C-alpha cells in the first residue's frame, strides 16, 4: 500500500494528528481574537466523516452504500446536493468501513461548528512549480507517496494538481511532505468549506439612498447627501457596455428583465471542469441563492428602462460567475465552496470572460482556512495573476466585502484583507461605519481596521431578486439587501463608471482614483497617511464617491512633471481641487479655462487650492511655474 512506501514519514514533525492541530489552532484564536471568546464561532470539532463517492449517486443510492458500511438507519446523515459528498456522524461509522467500500473515492474528516460552518478536504491538492522547474521533481515525490498527477491548471499551468489514493497518505499529509521537501514555490490543499456570504436579512425599505440620499423617512432618516453622488456621476457617464463587471457569487438570474440585456456569457466554477454546469445561473433551492442576483443588481441593473432599480454602473455589462452555492446542513443553510472552485472562477473571469472589474461579496473566516495551513495560498496565486495580468496586462481590480463580523471580530476577512484586493466595509445612511450603534438600528457590524480600504453603502439597499418565488422573496426585487455584501457591488459599480470614462487606466491608477477621492466621513480620525492618502481604521480611505472618483480620473497632464523637477499630488474634493507640490519653494500658478482665458492665479509655497465656487462645470488647465520648470495639469470641475 502506498502509505508503507514512505518510510521517512515520521521525520516530518509538522504532520500532527487532527486533534493536536485543533488544540493548537484554538490557542491561536484565543491569543489573537479575544472578542471572539463570547462567540461560538471558531469552535471546529471533528463531528463527521465526509465520504466522497465515485459517482453522483442519488440519496437512496448513497444511503444503500452507507448502510452497507454499517451506518445505522437513524443516523443523521447529510447529503450535499451539488457535490457527490455525504457526511456521517463520527460515532455512527468507522472510517475504515467507509474507505473499504468500492463506491467511496475518498473519505476525509469533516470539522464543523455548532452553527454549521465546516471545513474538510478533497483527495486532490496543488503544487506550484518554480519558473523553469521540471515536472520530474513532482513525479519523483508523487511516485514515492503513491500519488497520481492529474495535470497542470488550465489557466495557470505552473500549478500542478495531484490526487491521493484513499488507502494511502491523505492529501493533508502529502501537502506537508511536499512542503517540507523545500522543492516547490507553493503547496496547498484543495479544501471544501463554508463561505461567509456577507449578507444580513432585515425589514423592507424602498429607496436607493446609496445613489442619492435625501434624508427622508423612506430612506431611513439618514443624512442628506450621505451617498456616493451617483446621480451627479451620471452627468459624466452612466457606464459603457464594453466594461464588464464580473459578479463572483452564487450565480445571477440571467432571465431577470432588469439584468437580461446586459449579461455576458457566464461560468459555473462549482461544476466539474468537463461540464457546463449552470453557466453562471444560481441553483434555485434556497432563498439565499438570490445572493448573487442581489449583488449584480446593485452594481449594474439597467437604468432608465421603466422598471425596478438602477445599478450604479447602469449601462455596464455583467458576467455571472458561480463560485459558491448553498447546502442545508441539519437545518442551517450554509454557503460553501472549494479552493479549486475559487481558483477556476478567478482565472476564468479575466482569461475567458474578459472582466474589467471583479465584485466579490464573500470571504472565508480565518478559523476555517487556518485549520489546514496553506488553505488560501493557491487562491492568492490566482488573485495575483488576475490583478497583474487581467485586462490585457492593465490589471483587474478585485473588490471584496470586508465581512459582517465587526461586532465580535475586527479586521476584514480574507480575501478582502489580502494585499492585492480592495476591502470594502459597509456604511449606514448617516455616513457611519456600520455598527450596532449606527443610525439604521440594525444589530450587525462590518469588519474594519487593518487592511480595510474603503466604505460604501451597505444597509437596506434595494436591488434585484431572482424571479418569482426563487430568491429572497416572491417578487423580482428585494428592497432591503444588507451587509458588506451590498457595499462591495456599490464600490464595484463606481469602479465600472471610472473605467467606462477612462478605459485605459491600469489597476493601480484606477484604485488610486477610487480610493484617494473617497470622502472622509463619519468624524473618524483619518490620522494615518498611507498609499492613497489619509486613512482611518473605521472606513479606510473613506466612503466611495462616484462623482469625485470621475473628477479625479479626469485630472491628467502631468507630462511636464519632470520639467518641474518634483512630484505633484492632486486631490479631488466636492468643493475644490488641491495640488500639493512635493517641494517647499513658491510656485506661481495660473488657472485657465478651455478657451485659454485666465480665471484665477496666485503664488503659493504650499497646497494650491482651486475652489469650484465661481467656476462653471468643465475642463480647466492649471499651469504651474516653479523655480526649475513648469507643468500643466488638466482638472475637471463637475458641479451638480
471 binds Ca ion (CB under 5 A): yes
Nearest to 317 by CA among 155, 554, 492: 492
Q: What angle do CA 271, 44, 442 make, to 5 degrees?
A: 80
Least spacing, CB of residue 369 vs Ca ion, in Å: 15
> Which is closer to Ca ion, CB of 163 or CB of 366?
366
Residues 438, 444, 450, CA angle at the centre, nearest 5°?
A: 85
CB 208 within 8 A of CB 222: no
When asked if residue 511 is in the footprint of Ca ion (CB under 5 A), the reply is no
Q: Is 598 left (phi over 0), alpha (psi -120 to 50) or beta?
A: beta
Q: Which of residues 148-187 bind Ca ion (CB under 5 A)?
A: none
Confirm or reject binding of residue 465 to Ca ion (CB under 5 A): yes
Stretch that binds Ca ion, among 380-388, 415-423, 499-507, 530-538 (CB under 5 A): 415-423
Task: Considering only the stretches 147-155, 319-327, 413-421, 564-572, report the one whose residues sit in contact with Ca ion under the rule CB under 5 A.
Answer: 413-421
Residue 421 interacts with Ca ion (CB under 5 A)?
A: yes
Binding of Ca ion by 403 (CB under 5 A)? no
Query: Binding string to Ca ion for residues 423 to 452, with x set by CB under 5 A, is what?
Result: x-----------------------------
Could you tell me which stretch among 194-202, 457-465, 544-552, 606-614 binds Ca ion (CB under 5 A)?
457-465
Q: How far is the CB of 464 from Ca ion (least distance, A)?
A: 8
What is the sign, positive or negative, of the torsion defined by CA atoms of 454, 457, 459, 465? negative
The interface region with Ca ion, picked from 251-259, 495-503, 506-514, 536-544 by CB under 5 A, is: 251-259
Count of residues that interact with Ca ion, criterion CB under 5 A: 10
Of 199, 240, 302, 517, the one binding Ca ion by CB under 5 A: 302
> Is the preceding peptide bond at 160 cis, omega within 30 degrees of 0?
no
The one among 249, 253, 258, 356 contacting Ca ion by CB under 5 A: 258
CA distances 95 to 70, 274, 491, Å, are 11, 30, 47
Phi then psi dihedrals of residue 515, to 5 deg: -90, -35
CB of 74 to Ca ion, least distance (A): 36
- Is residue 308 a contact point for Ca ion (CB under 5 A)? yes
Piece of 37-45, 177-185, 431-439, 459-467 that binds Ca ion (CB under 5 A) = 459-467
Q: Which of residues 262-281 bind Ca ion (CB under 5 A)?
A: none
Distance CA 38, CA 587 (A): 58
Q: Where are the alpha helices (DSSP H) in 452-569?
A: 484-501, 507-516, 546-553, 561-564
Q: How far apart are CA 131 and CA 45, in angstroms?
A: 39
Cell of 466: 431572482
- To the nearest 10 degrees (0 to 180), the angle between helices 546-553 and 507-516 is 130
- By beta-carbon proximity to Ca ion, the closer residue of 303 and 457 is 303
Q: Which is nearer to Ca ion, 122 or 207 (CB)?
A: 207
- Residue of this chain nearest to Ca ion (CB atom): 471
What is the contact surface with Ca ion in residues (CB under 5 A)?
258, 302, 305, 307-308, 421, 423, 465-466, 471
Amino acid at each position: 500500500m502506498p502509505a508503507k512506501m514512505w518510510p521517512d514519514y515520521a521525520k516530518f514533525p509538522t504532520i500532527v494528528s487532527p486533534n493536536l492541530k485543533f488544540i493548537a489552532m484554538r490557542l491561536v484564536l484565543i491569543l489573537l481574537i479575544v472578542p471572539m471568546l463570547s462567540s461560538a464561532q471558531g469552535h471546529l470539532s471533528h463531528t463527521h466523516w465526509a465520504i466522497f463517492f465515485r459517482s453522483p449517486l442519488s440519496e437512496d443510492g448513497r444511503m444503500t452504500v452507507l448502510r452497507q458500511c454499517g451506518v445505522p438507519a437513524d443516523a443523521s446523515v447529510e447529503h450535499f446536493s451539488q457535490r457527490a459528498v455525504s457526511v456521517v456522524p463520527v460515532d455512527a461509522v468507522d472510517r475504515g468501513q467507509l474507505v473499504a467500500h468500492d463506491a467511496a473515492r475518498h473519505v476525509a474528516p469533516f470539522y464543523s461548528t455548532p452553527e454549521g460552518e465546516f471545513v474538510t478536504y478533497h483527495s486532490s491538492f496543488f503544487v506550484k512549480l518554480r519558473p523553469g522547474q521540471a515536472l520530474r521533481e513532482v513525479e519523483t515525490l508523487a511516485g514515492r507517496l503513491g500519488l497520481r498527477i492529474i495535470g497542470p491548471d488550465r489557466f495557470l499551468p505552473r500549478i500542478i494538481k495531484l490526487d491521493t489514493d484513499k488507502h494511502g497518505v491523505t492529501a493533508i499529509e502529502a501537502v506537508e511532505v511536499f512542503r517540507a521537501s523545500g522543492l516547490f514555490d507553493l503547496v496547498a490543499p484543495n479544501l471544501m468549506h463554508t463561505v461567509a456570504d456577507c449578507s444580513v436579512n432585515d425589514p423592507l425599505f424602498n429607496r436607493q439612498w446609496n445613489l442619492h440620499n435625501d434624508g427622508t423617512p423612506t430612506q431611513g432618516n439618514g443624512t442628506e447627501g450621505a451617498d456616493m453622488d451617483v446621480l451627479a456621476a451620471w452627468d459624466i457617464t452612466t457606464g459603457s457596455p464594453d466594461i464588464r463587471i464580473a459578479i463572483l457569487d452564487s450565480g445571477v438570474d440571467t432571465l431577470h428583465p432588469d439584468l437580461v440585456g446586459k449579461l455576458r456569457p457566464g461560468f459555473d466554477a462549482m461544476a466539474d471542469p468537463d461540464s457546463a454546469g449552470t453557466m453562471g445561473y444560481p441553483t434555485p433551492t434556497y432563498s439565499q441563492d438570490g445572493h448573487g442576483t442581489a449583488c449584480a443588481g446593485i452594481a449594474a441593473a439597467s437604468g432608465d428602462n421603466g422598471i425596478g432599480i438602477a445599478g450604479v454602473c447602469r449601462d455596464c455589462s455583467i458576467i455571472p460567475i458561480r463560485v459558491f452555492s448553498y447546502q442545508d446542513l441539519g437545518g442551517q443553510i450554509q454557503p460553501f465552496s472549494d479552493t479549486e472552485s475559487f481558483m477556476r472562477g478567478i482565472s476564468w473571469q479575466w482569461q475567458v470572460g474578459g472582466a474589467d472589474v471583479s465584485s466579490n461579496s464573500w470571504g472565508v473566516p480565518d478559523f476555517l482556512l487556518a485549520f489546514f495551513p496553506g488553505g488560501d495560498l493557491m487562491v492568492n496565486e490566482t488573485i495575483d495573476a488576475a490583478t497583474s495580468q487581467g485586462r490585457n496586462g492593465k490589471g483587474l481590480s478585485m473588490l471584496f466585502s470586508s465581512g459582517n463580523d465587526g461586532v465580535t471580530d475586527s479586521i476584514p476577512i480574507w480575501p478582502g484583507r489580502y494585499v492585492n484586493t480592495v476591502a470594502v466595509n459597509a456604511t449606514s445612511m448617516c455616513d457611519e461605519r456600520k455598527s450596532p450603534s449606527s443610525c439604521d438600528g440594525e444589530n450587525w457590524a462590518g469588519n474594519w481596521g487593518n487592511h480595510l480600504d474603503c466604505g460604501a453603502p451597505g444597509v437596506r439597499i434595494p436591488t434585484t431578486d431572482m424571479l418569482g418565488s426563487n430568491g429572497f422573496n416572491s417578487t423580482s426585487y428585494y428592497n432591503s439587501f444588507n451587509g458588506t455584501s451590498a457595499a462591495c457591488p456599490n464600490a464595484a459599480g463606481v469602479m465600472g463608471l471610472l473605467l467606462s470614462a477612462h478605459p485605459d487606466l491600469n489597476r493601480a491608477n484606477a484604485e488610486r482614483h477610487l480610493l484617494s477621492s473617497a470622502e472622509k466621513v463619519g468624524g473618524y480620525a483619518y490620522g494615518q497617511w498611507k498609499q492613497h492618502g489619509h486613512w482611518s481604521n473605521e472606513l479606510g480611505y473613506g466612503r466611495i464617491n462616484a462623482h469625485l472618483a470621475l473628477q479625479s480620473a479626469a485630472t491628467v497632464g502631468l507630462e511636464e512633471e519632470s520639467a518641474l523637477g518634483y512630484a505633484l499630488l492632486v486631490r479631488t474634493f466636492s468643493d475644490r481641487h488641491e495640488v500639493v507640490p512635493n517641494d517647499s519653494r513658491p510656485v506661481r500658478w495660473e488657472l485657465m479655462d478651455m478657451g485659454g482665458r485666465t480665471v484665477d492665479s496666485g503664488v503659493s509655497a504650499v497646497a494650491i487650492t482651486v475652489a469650484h465656487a465661481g467656476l462653471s462645470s468643465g475642463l480647466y488647465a492649471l499651469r504651474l511655474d516653479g523655480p526649475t520648470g513648469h507643468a500643466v495639469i488638466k482638472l475637471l470641475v463637475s458641479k451638480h
